[in-house]
Chain A
Amino acid sequence: MADEVILLNFCPSVFGMRIRIALAEKGIEYEYREEDLKNKSPLLLKMNPVHKKIPVLIHNGKPVCESLIAVEYIDEVWKEKAPILPSDPYQRAQARFWADYVDKKVYAAARNVWATKGEEQEAAKKEFIEILKVLEGELGDKPYFGGETFGLTDISLIGYYCWFYAYETFGNFSIESECPKLIAWAKRCMEKESVSKSLADPHTVYDFVLGVKKRLGLE
């Protein structure tokens, strides 16, 4: 029986990118549907009634919500190809811990970088760079967070790379000068087709953020 896979998404979403990368890594065919977040589709509201958010992975009519949960689901269902989590329980715990760290820390800190001004923004930039440095420290000299192979932690973080241009422009700073190893890691990930085809164009992201700032009166 053919699998029916649908992804409800919004192009600039770093969370949606995670699922796109996982699906691409596994070579899964799926239908992509772009949501208008100001006018959410009945399908989205039905499939994610609790949070009413994208991304939502729908597999044979059943929804899986929350991007990291969906990525693990994809790994478990399509387990023959391109494993996203390692098989050793301790290494799996490490991967999950760092993916959870990305979730707990990066989004909020990054948002403060583009949504604030003056002293508040300087403090936000400092905090954001500190978080990236912790991640850079964890990466060390490994090619990917999990070691030799691209995996869950890489997938949880790489989507933010296409937002860096917006952060740097609105924040007037260079992430590469502070975290060169992290940028090298990001470029390495971008060499993978599953990543380069899943990330949004940085200029599209910039325009989106500009639009949000204008709407919220944050210029």
Chain B
Amino acid sequence: MAEEVKLFRNWSSPFALRIVWALKLKGIEYETILEDLQNKSSLLLQYNPVHKKVPVLLHNGKPILESLVILEYIEETWKQHPLLPEDPFEKATARFWARFNDEKLLPSIRDASTKQGKEQEEAIVQVEENLKYVEEKLKGNVFFGGETIGYLDLAFGWLANLVSVLEEVTGLSLTASGKFPLLSAWMQNFSDAPVIKECWPPRDKLIIKYQAMIEKYTAVAAPK
């Protein structure tokens, strides 16, 4: 029976990119439906009425939502090129760090990029603390998954894509300082992997997008 796999995403969402990478690593054929997040399609709203967000994976007409949930679904449905370890403790550890990324690391980097003054200073301290944990996890490994790219590389993957963009736009030095050599090496190795490289959103477009976003935050915060 022919499988029908569709992915609703936009051109830049780091969460949606996780799904693109997973599908490509497993060699799954799929159709992309590109969304304009300022003008969401009625189909997207129909399939994700609760959060109204990308990514949405549609498999034989059934929607799966939330990027980490989708990754687990892909892993359980298509068994080739496993992304998660088999051992329950190692699996739990990978899931823990993926959540850490979504709930702690990503928000701290967002805050460091968009806040001002003392709040920004505090956010930067937080980012450093968070990145130390990530650096620690890479000891003895090329990728978070070991020898090959796995679930946790896909969860952290947005760092390889966006940290240098944010550094260029804000002038902040998050990893460029060389404080996190293993992380910097991983970012390079990850970006260079063929499957990952071919899906990279264009850097110049990202610079424009994040410049506009940060200007908007700064304008709102600045006292007149």
Whether A and B are associated in the same complex: the answer reads: yes
Indicate if B52 sits at the interface (CB-CB under 8 A): no
CA distance A89 to B62 in the complex (A): 12
> Which residues from A are CB-within-8-Å of B62?
90
Cβ B59 vs Cβ A90 within 8 A = yes
Cβ B50 vs Cβ A134 within 8 A = yes
CA distance A96 to B76 in the complex (A): 13
Choose among A59, A64, A69, A97 the residue that contacts B69 (Cβ–Cβ < 8 A): A97
CA distance A105 to B76 in the complex (A): 27
> Which residues from A are CB-within-8-Å of B91?
73, 76
CA distance A11 to B91 in the complex (A): 27
Cβ B72 vs Cβ A66 within 8 A = no
Nearest CB in chain B: distance from A147 CB, A: 16
Closest to B100 in A: A50
A-B contact pairs, 9 of them (CB 8 A): A50-B100, A69-B95, A70-B92, A76-B88, A90-B62, A90-B64, A92-B73, A97-B69, A101-B50
Known pairs A90-B59, A93-B64; A100 contacts B69 (CB<8 A): yes
Cβ A89 vs Cβ B92 within 8 A = no
Nearest CB in chain A: distance from B168 CB, A: 29
CA distance A134 to B49 in the complex (A): 10
Cβ B73 vs Cβ A62 within 8 A = no
Indicate if A65 sits at the interface (CB-CB under 8 A): yes
> Which residues from B are CB-within-8-Å of A65?
96
Nearest CB in chain A: distance from B6 CB, A: 15
> Which residues from B are CB-within-8-Å of A62?
89
